[in-house]
């Protein structure tokens, strides 16, 4: 099979594209003919060595995939050849990645793809959709009628948070780096969008939620807790899920006297049954048209190195040249 892989961590150009042996499914594994994969910032951290995890050699990059089952191991009960599936959480904690024509994946990390949903869309919502669901429902327990801010409403995670919060019945304010992105965020269901390059974000938040926000979802890697805590209502919940090197100061006084809580999490720590619950809602919302993948562009799998370079420029250098996910097709 063709695959995008590395022999050791390094820059995007260390990704090689070429032939590797076809994988054989283990007893609990499903062999998937990959139709589409999507790039996530974590893929670039692992590829570069910034995040260190045990890696198979060679290591196929990538966490997300969608495709069609072509074979199953003897212990597989959930899927059969011909089924369309999607999933995430591969390429992590010693597991092989997904950027290949074929992937052998434990059945516990796969979900059925709803009819009418393409492999592109399913791959593009995989990791980011599960992340948004875990943070909103398991952790912040967002309720209808509450107010929520998410930073970056057209980003991978942000676009899922906007749509899911809107579907739950919350009022959503988000930020955007350009007028086009502001329009896109509104179409996804944001009630208010603040253009952070030309408008006063703090003023816009105060107008949107005069009594304070119930939930703040931070996607920036260097968040200001001073700013966030100051905008929260009594009982406000803050979700933090980016910025491994960040060490922001927590203003304790206004934080505890307003009964606030902070949730931090990495989606890949969530147990398979937690992720499966998230996937069930994602599938329902995809089928109902309440959740749509925000895809910036589709590239060939052979362009994996260029795709990593583009994602890295956005995540580490904040170039704002992306509006959603990079999807690759073998």
Ligand X SMILES: NC(=O)c1ccc[n+]([C@@H]2O[C@H](COP(=O)([O-])OP(=O)(O)OC[C@H]3O[C@@H](n4cnc5c(N)ncnc54)[C@H](OP(=O)(O)O)[C@@H]3O)[C@@H](O)[C@H]2O)c1
Binding residues (CB under 6 A) for ligand X: these are: 40-42, 128, 131, 151-152, 154-158, 175-177, 181, 196, 219-221, 241-242, 265-267, 314-315, 318, 320, 322
| CB 60, min distance to ligand X, A | 20
**Which residue, 17 or 196, is less far from ligand X as judged by CB?**
196
| CB 39, min distance to ligand X, A | 9
**Which residue, 17 or 265, is less far from ligand X as judged by CB?**
265
The Cα-based distances of 290 to 164, 216, 236, 285, 293 in angstroms read 8, 22, 26, 5, 10
**Which residue, 152 or 236, is less far from ligand X as judged by CB?**
152
**Which residue, 88 or 113, is less far from ligand X as judged by CB?**
88
Q: How distant is the alpha carbon of residue 64 from its chain centre?
A: 9
| CB 107, min distance to ligand X, A | 22
| CB 8, min distance to ligand X, A | 22
| CB 179, min distance to ligand X, A | 11
3-state secondary structure of 304: helix
Q: CA 240 to CA 161: how far, in whole Å?
A: 13
**Which residue, 29 or 175, is less far from ligand X as judged by CB?**
175
Q: Print burial letters for 13-24: b (CB count within 10 Å at least 16), e (below 16).
A: ebbebeebeebe
Instruction: Collect contacts of 21-24 with beta carbons under 8 A, ≥24 apart.
Output: 22/102, 23/96, 23/102, 23/103, 23/104, 24/104
| CB 318, min distance to ligand X, A | 4
Question: What is the DSSP-derived secondary structure letter of residue 114?
Answer: P
Query: Count of CB atoms within 10 A of residue 317's CB?
Result: 9
**Which residue, 50 or 70, is less far from ligand X as judged by CB?**
50
Which residue(s) pair with 59 in the sheet? 6
């Amino acid at each position: 099979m063709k695959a995008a892989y590395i022999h050791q961590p390094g820059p995007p150009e260390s990704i090689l594209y070429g032939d590797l042996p076809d994988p054989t499914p283990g007893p609990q594994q499903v062999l998937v003919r990959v139709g589409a994969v999507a790039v996530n910032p974590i893929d670039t951290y692992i590829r570069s060595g910034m995040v260190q995890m045990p890696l198979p050699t060679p290591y196929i990059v990538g966490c997300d995939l969608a495709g069609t089952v072509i074979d199953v191991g003897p212990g597989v009960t959930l899927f059969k050849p011909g089924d369309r599936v999607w999933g995430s959480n591969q390429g992590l904690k010693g597991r092989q990645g997904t950027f290949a024509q074929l992937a052998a994946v434990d059945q516990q990390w796969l979900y059925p793809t709803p009819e009418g949903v393409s492999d592109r869309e399913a791959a593009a919502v995989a990791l980011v959709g599960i992340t948004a669901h875990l943070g909103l429902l398991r952790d912040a327990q967002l309720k209808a009628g509450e107010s929520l801010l998410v930073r970056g409403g057209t980003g991978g995670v942000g676009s899922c948070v906007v749509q899911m919060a809107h579907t739950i019945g919350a009022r959503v304010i988000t930020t955007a780096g350009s007028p086009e992105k502001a329009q896109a965020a509104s179409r996804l269901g944001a009630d208010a969008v603040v253009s952070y390059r030309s408008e006063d974000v703090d003023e816009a938040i105060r107008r949107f939620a005069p009594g304070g926000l119930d939930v703040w979802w931070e996607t920036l890697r260097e968040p200001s807790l001073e700013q966030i805590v100051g905008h929260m209502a009594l009982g406000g919940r803050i979700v933090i899920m980016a910025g491994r090197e960040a060490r922001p100061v927590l203003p304790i006084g206004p934080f505890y006297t307003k009964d606030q809580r902070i949730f931090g999490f990495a989606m890949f720590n969530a147990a398979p049954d937690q992720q499966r619950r998230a996937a069930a809602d994602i599938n329902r919302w995809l089928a109902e048209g309440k959740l749509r993948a925000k895809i910036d562009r589709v590239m060939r799998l052979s362009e994996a190195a260029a795709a990593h370079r583009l994602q890295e420029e956005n995540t580490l250098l904040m170039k704002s040249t992306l509006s959603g996910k990079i999807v690759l097709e073998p």
